[in-house]
Chain A
């Protein structure tokens, strides 16, 4: 319904998110995201291995600050992400619908994503109490075990759940003090980029979350093999074997989460936080 007086809408350029900035891929490449009628919805950045390496540098740089931020602060920042997402509820529904999700399912997915962030925000200062221990050693020592974040985590976000799948895997990683590089869904990439904007407006420090779009087949191997990444979460069943082989180069932790129904309440629990945590045990003599 165009007319000479109609306003021309301004369309968004979907970019990637590295170190708190929104660059285009350094490679200059793109892939066209099309709807079922083969109309181009967006030209999405086809991220490169170099983009990934830059992201890991940013994530590593952000790790010392984020991993030592107080649990209270991390909880508040996760809560803030939820607030920002709530405020942009309509935008995300529209984006999901544009990518072919039904209106009803889209609304449900955005609702669930917001609630999931609140869920993990609340865990920030509790999972430690549930999973740590004071150990009654028989010698005269005080001995305790606590959880600490594993480090920099690669996340291959679920391909079939553009927003909720991303949030469900991202939140437990960062609430635990890790930093991460996310490979967004290839078939539903738009919400990941918009979610980066939400993160950006939520006091998440630069580099804590980096989000790339691109071809999974091209990038998964790099996400799995990088020597400065400590863990990888993989959600595609068919690549688990290759990821585990590549991950062995630096004894990366591999968390395989294929076949999870991300819409289900049972897809959120503190053991997902524990998946990217290390147990540290400290000894000190008791004496004078």
Chain B
């Protein structure tokens, strides 16, 4: 198609590199566990490496927690729960959480830099989204600590006890904040495990928690992989499990805690449809598509990984999307110009590449931007597939990478049917200038978060979580409190 207004950001002049400096941060050679307010060596003395996925160089060595370490952490959490934390006045509890928020704000740039080093995400995102939002979460929930009796009319709310929390590698510090902040505000104590590829900002958070003066054992950090997580899930003295990760692991957890009476929240996979109507503001919609699928390398459970575009504008939208993709800079996560950073790990890159192969084998047409990528590290160029059908695996399964499957529709009903036709229901997007159509769509999409004429927006006051196989329960906002409280009839 004719393409008169092609974007050409890179023609004629080049971006000079603008790397974030690393001279202001310190990363220890080795990190221990954080149990009972102290740095604590793992019982079996084993450690694992964490690397920079953009360079494949080792950043640090981190303790591998086994079941006995988890047991020590749970005991410390129980002791802190019975002791200072549940006896403290709620307002005082809140003040500790406010302190965490403030220290995080003070150390924000340091955290952003480490987050990008350890996880591969562009510094622009860690600096402007991950870290400020994490601080905001602590600030928001801190204020709830002494106001819980107003949250659930007619009910008396009390804490659950010890919360076991397992968080993913895509938003390491932010997910820690999503889980720790409401748990503490509601009066629980915490045993938390970061993902094995991104433990560093959690170890830095241990410093913040220590500096904030929280009583020993209120937050305990155990590092490790799946086995460490399983030890948390299986521990008999844990009252609640909060997990963010894949639907497959979510199923395993739901089975593992069956019959134990443990409460749980699961925030699992997604395959969100981003639906573009012909009457949408197309340029804005294209920005929304790009933000929807290429934000954080597509390592986003609520990513708009399916594009449903109304047939009459499909050619135009796809062409403009391709043009826009050409302008995206893939490379050094620490460079402030970078749009798309490194894929988080070698196994994840392998998963993404296997889906690229599957997509082609299913008969879809693949297009990737022509940008160069660094030689070392894990990279995937922004990718779209056209000519896909609803039953294709790249339409039904979560890829968790910068890979978009594009389908078309004619009527609103067809768009809706296609949008809802996956086992997931985490999020969705709608682009149209017609108000009535927005509400029709936002009402009928079976998903927990709907962005209309925007995408991938987050806020501590805004509940987040999925329908169907995308999870159970909500995190964020007033509704996020329920996950950490026992509600009983008022006497």
Contacts from A to B (Cβ < 8 Å): 68, 130, 133, 135-139, 141, 143, 145, 148, 150-151, 230, 240-245, 247-251, 253, 266, 269-271, 278-285
Q: Which of B250, B258, B472 has the most chain A CB within a 10 Å cutoff? A: B258
Contact of A245 among B155, B258, B443, B469 (CB under 8 A): B258
14 contacts between A and B (CB under 8 A): A68-B443, A130-B153, A137-B457, A145-B463, A150-B467, A243-B258, A245-B259, A249-B251, A251-B254, A251-B266, A251-B469, A279-B474, A281-B449, A282-B451
Distance in angstroms from A131 CB to nearest chain B CB is 8
Given contacts A130-B153, A230-B468, A251-B471, contact A141 B258 (CB under 8 A): no
Are A135's CB and B251's CB within 8 A?
no
Are B489's CB and A244's CB within 8 A?
no
Are B463's CB and A279's CB within 8 A?
yes
Report the bound CA distance from A271 to B471 in whole Å.
20
Q: In this assembly, does B210 line the interface, its C-beta being within 8 Å of a C-beta of chain A?
A: no
In addition to A145-B477, A251-B247, 10 A-B residue pairs with Cβ atoms within 8 Å of each other are A130-B153, A133-B479, A251-B471, A280-B467, A281-B448, A281-B462, A282-B452, A283-B449, A283-B451, A284-B438
Given contacts A133-B478, A241-B258, contact A138 B459 (CB under 8 A): yes
Are A245's CB and B255's CB within 8 A?
yes
Report the bound CA distance from A135 to B449 in whole Å.
13
Distance in angstroms from A234 CB to nearest chain B CB is 11
Which residues of chain B from 264 to 318 have any CB-CB distance to chain A below 8 Å in the complex?
266, 268
What chain B residues lie within 8 Å of A245 (beta carbons)?
A: 254-255, 258-259
Report the bound CA distance from A6 to B258 in whole Å.
58
Contacts from B to A (Cβ < 8 Å): 136, 153-155, 247, 250-252, 254-255, 257-259, 266, 268, 423, 438, 442-443, 446-454, 457, 459, 461-465, 467-472, 474, 477-479, 487, 489
Are B247's CB and A283's CB within 8 A?
no
Are A248's CB and B258's CB within 8 A?
yes
Are A145's CB and B479's CB within 8 A?
yes
Contact of B489 among A135, A249, A269, A281 (CB under 8 A): A269
What chain A residues lie within 8 Å of B268 (beta carbons)?
A: 251
Distance in angstroms from A28 CB to nearest chain B CB is 34
- Chain B residue at minimal CB-CB distance from A150: B467
Report the bound CA distance from A283 to B456 in whole Å.
10
Report the bound CA distance from A93 to B459 in whole Å.
54
Report the bound CA distance from A230 to B154 in whole Å.
27
Report the bound CA distance from A284 to B454 in whole Å.
7
Distance in angstroms from A273 CB to nearest chain B CB is 13
What chain A residues lie within 8 Å of B443 (beta carbons)?
A: 68, 148
What chain A residues lie within 8 Å of B251 (beta carbons)?
A: 248-249, 251
Given contacts A240-B259, A244-B254, A251-B471, contact A135 B450 (CB under 8 A): no
What chain A residues lie within 8 Å of B459 (beta carbons)?
A: 135, 137-139, 143
Are B423's CB and A143's CB within 8 A?
no
Report the bound CA distance from A112 to B465 in whole Å.
37
Interface of B is mostly: mixed
Report the bound CA distance from A284 to B453 in whole Å.
6
Are A145's CB and B462's CB within 8 A?
yes
Are A139's CB and B450's CB within 8 A?
no
What chain A residues lie within 8 Å of B451 (beta carbons)?
A: 282-283
Are A279's CB and B448's CB within 8 A?
yes
Distance in angstroms from A282 CB to nearest chain B CB is 5
Are A250's CB and B479's CB within 8 A?
no
What chain B residues lie within 8 Å of A244 (beta carbons)?
A: 254-255, 257-259
Distance in angstroms from B329 CB to nearest chain A CB is 25
Report the bound CA distance from A248 to B452 in whole Å.
31
- Chain B residue at minimal CB-CB distance from A137: B459
Report the bound CA distance from A245 to B457 in whole Å.
34
Q: Which of B443, B448, B454, B461 has the most chain A CB within a 10 Å cutoff? A: B461
What chain A residues lie within 8 Å of B255 (beta carbons)?
A: 244-245, 248
Are B254's CB and A248's CB within 8 A?
yes
Q: Which of A148, A251, A269 has the most chain B CB within a 10 Å cutoff? A: A251
- Chain A residue at minimal CB-CB distance from B429: A283
Distance in angstroms from A16 CB to nearest chain B CB is 28
Are A250's CB and B155's CB within 8 A?
no
Distance in angstroms from A266 CB to nearest chain B CB is 5
What chain A residues lie within 8 Å of B136 (beta carbons)?
A: 138
Report the bound CA distance from A21 to B165 in whole Å.
48
Are A281's CB and B463's CB within 8 A?
yes
Distance in angstroms from A173 CB to nearest chain B CB is 16
What chain A residues lie within 8 Å of B447 (beta carbons)?
A: 280
Are A269's CB and B472's CB within 8 A?
no
What chain A residues lie within 8 Å of B477 (beta carbons)?
A: 133, 135, 145, 281
Report the bound CA distance from A284 to B258 in whole Å.
39
What chain B residues lie within 8 Å of A284 (beta carbons)?
A: 438, 452-454
Given contacts A251-B266, A251-B468, A266-B489, contact A135 B453 (CB under 8 A): no
Q: Which of B451, B462, B474 has the most chain A CB within a 10 Å cutoff? A: B462
Q: Which of A137, A151, A244, A281 has the most chain B CB within a 10 Å cutoff? A: A281
Report the bound CA distance from A288 to B45 in whole Å.
60
Closest 6 CB pairs between A and B?
A241-B259, A244-B258, A248-B254, A137-B459, A135-B461, A245-B258
Distance in angstroms from B481 CB to nearest chain A CB is 11
Are A271's CB and B487's CB within 8 A?
yes
Contact of B467 among A130, A143, A271, A278 (CB under 8 A): A278
Report the bound CA distance from A68 to B416 in whole Å.
15
- Chain A residue at minimal CB-CB distance from B438: A284
Are B259's CB and A143's CB within 8 A?
no
What chain B residues lie within 8 Å of A280 (beta carbons)?
A: 442, 447-450, 467
Given contacts A137-B462, A145-B462, A241-B258, contact A250 B478 (CB under 8 A): no
What chain A residues lie within 8 Å of B472 (beta carbons)?
A: 251, 253
Q: Which of A248, A271, A280 has the most chain B CB within a 10 Å cutoff? A: A280
What chain B residues lie within 8 Å of A242 (beta carbons)?
A: 258-259
Report the bound CA distance from A216 to B489 in whole Å.
30
Given contacts A133-B479, A281-B448, A281-B449, contact A247 B454 (CB under 8 A): no
Report the bound CA distance from A124 to B478 in whole Å.
22
What chain A residues lie within 8 Å of B454 (beta carbons)?
A: 141, 283-285
What chain B residues lie within 8 Å of A282 (beta carbons)?
A: 442, 449-452
Report the bound CA distance from A202 to B25 in whole Å.
69
What chain A residues lie within 8 Å of B479 (beta carbons)?
A: 133, 145, 279
Distance in angstroms from A130 CB to nearest chain B CB is 6
Contact of B465 among A130, A133, A279, A285 (CB under 8 A): A279
Q: Which of A130, A141, A151 has the most chain B CB within a 10 Å cutoff? A: A141
Contact of A278 among B257, B448, B469, B478 (CB under 8 A): B448
Report the bound CA distance from A284 to B455 in whole Å.
9
Report the bound CA distance from A187 to B195 in whole Å.
50
